[in-house]
Structure 1
């Protein structure tokens, strides 16, 4: 049943609406987790209460991260050769999207990507391959390059290599990988609608292997694939329960040639409500506005950072992102501070 405080949010009084969301923030700041009903109420927030909701999310964000923003840089280290059938992905075996296809980049290209990441102010360099999981050559290459990148650029390393065994995760940890990204993508109930070649539990098992190897877990999802609000809440609570450190929230870029091409279920206000829900459900975790923000948040992108505290800078895997200077200008206009290399993103 929806708690009384949240049920009252349907009032037409702006003051009462502000008090409802402020009260919810008070409870989160006091260490009380939000309930499923409260999370659903956040996603159903009336548009005329959106600024009050964002104020509540910002209070929680400010406690744990102040006005600091961490930037990430993606390197698509192996493109378009994935045997999985994820319906959102331009690199899957069922995609007809016209994208570059190549095997693992060589040492020089990976180092060049790290140099660009450092120049663009990123603290974390994300090495991503399209695969079910890494083969021996690929994992050995990552093991070899990570110490070199750290020596030259003092970047944190996030590896996104697909499904991992316990032994592979431990090897990455031993090599100095700081965190591993493996998105759960949506709630477990909906997962079979977007992929059939592996299960939601396969993805969760990889996260457990990462955690057991002593690395940070990075895992989030994609909004706008036809899921229900309850699926997003299920995902947010799973990430909370797993103890995921960093949560990228993507908004579907419906790429031509993929099964989800042409889908457009989102508006900017709903996207902001999603970010607020993830912040309130995971108050002290890094929430990153990831792929699709330029398409779906559009002119409201700055408001997203009142809930989220990190961004990808530059391009994504197979799609273009906003020009880095536009992101820097946005952060300056907000009065926010970019976390510099070597600094921690939290308190």
Structure 2
């Protein structure tokens, strides 16, 4: 006796939706939500459609970013996800801002790792002028020695500090929105959502490229994930790191469940559909949330972090390079002169 095979029709023709995005149409929030809530059985067709958009603008190139934790811990903020916050009991290394020479040496390591963007990241609410000046002196040397983009992530900078950073060649400034406005008060109370938006506006006004992303897995709803994607679209963020919570023991969010690997892939696809021309980066937490499905994420994203993160270990760089090679993709080693593509209808 033969068993009949049930044929299931996809709930949405994802490729048609991708072609409409390439033609310049913005998805409705209902369509965006349908990406997150698509049946798991449709993940391959969904990623194929996301890859159609990704390959149109970026081909098979992958941008690598590398972080240096330029100041660790000692932060007065109470962000529930962060091991460096004042409310964290996580056993991390704490130190003041690294010297200029150490920051410059870190750029060489990033270059050797084939990273096109070197990210100088500091803990804390906002940098002092002295700390900004130290970053500026380091950036001057890095620009002289290496042809690579510099991204700074220094907290709530003032418009004056942003202009000084731009004047010495800081290409990009990262300040994540982290979550939706409606979920912000559940994550931190020591700064407002508007504080973050004001910093991003100061960055843009200074002429730096805005980098802003999210952390998925902090109790947000699917609707709030969609809101995050649209907020970043409205902010016109050039680079969007999609982080997945790595719940660190000793932090208020230590008991949060991991995001499922297939759900994480849907999230990355969503950000590609909503922000088709932008650099979408699979960032912190990919190793523990996407696990063995990490390569599949690059069919929607066109960038990853290599090396370690701020206080957590990343995947071995050799493994990342092999992953990209095995996909038939190519590392874009020097992204300095690269700009986000424009939408063509």
Task: Say yes or no: TM over 0.5.
Answer: yes
Are 2:335 and 1:344 equivalent residues in the alignment? no
List per-residue Cα deviations over 1:211-251 (Å, max 9, x = no partner): 11111000001000111011111111010011100000000
> Residues 1-347 of structure 1 correspond to what in structure 2 (within 5 A)?
13=7, 16-17=9-10, 20-341=13-334, 342=336, 344=338
Q: Following the alignment from structure 2 to structure 1, what is the Cα–Cα distance between the partners of residues 146 and 255? A: 40
C-alpha distance 26-13 of structure 1, shift in aligned 2 (>3 A): farther
Unaligned runs of 5+ residues in structure 1 are 1-11
Q: Following the alignment from structure 2 to structure 1, what is the Cα–Cα distance between the partners of residues 333 and 244? A: 27
Q: Following the alignment from structure 2 to structure 1, what is the Cα–Cα distance between the partners of residues 7 and 193? A: 42
Q: May I ask how many residue pairs the two structures share in their alignment?
A: 335
* TM-score, structure 1 as length reference: 0.94
Q: Following the alignment from structure 1 to structure 2, what is the Cα–Cα distance between the partners of residues 24 and 50? A: 15
* TM-score, structure 2 as length reference: 0.95
Q: What is the CA distance between 1:182 and its match in structure 2? A: 0.1
Q: What is the CA distance between 1:28 and its match in structure 2? A: 0.4
Q: Following the alignment from structure 2 to structure 1, what is the Cα–Cα distance between the partners of residues 12 and 92? A: 49
Q: Is the contact between residue 101 and residue 138 of structure 2 (CA under 8 Å) also seen in structure 1?
A: no
Q: What is the CA distance between 1:13 and its match in structure 2? A: 4.8
Q: Is the contact between residue 65 and residue 346 of structure 1 (CA under 8 Å) also seen in structure 2?
A: no
Q: What is the CA distance between 1:78 and its match in structure 2? A: 0.2
Question: Which consecutive segments of 4 or more residues in structure 1 shift more than 6 A?
Answer: none
Q: What is the CA distance between 1:81 and its match in structure 2? A: 1.1
Q: Is the contact between residue 18 and residue 52 of structure 1 (CA under 8 Å) also seen in structure 2?
A: no
Cα RMSD of the aligned pairs, angstroms, is 1.3
Q: Is the contact between residue 258 and residue 289 of structure 2 (CA under 8 Å) also seen in structure 1?
A: no
Q: Is the contact between residue 177 and residue 214 of structure 2 (CA under 8 Å) also seen in structure 1?
A: yes
Unaligned runs of 5+ residues in structure 2 are 1-5
What is the DSSP-based 3-state SS (H/G/I as helix, E as strand, rest coil) of the residue aligned with 1:189?
A: helix
Q: Following the alignment from structure 1 to structure 2, what is the Cα–Cα distance between the partners of residues 57 and 345? A: 20
Q: Following the alignment from structure 1 to structure 2, what is the Cα–Cα distance between the partners of residues 139 and 19? A: 49
Other-structure match for 1:9? none
C-alpha distance 263-19 of structure 1, shift in aligned 2 (>3 A): closer
Q: Is the contact between residue 68 and residue 345 of structure 1 (CA under 8 Å) also seen in structure 2?
A: no
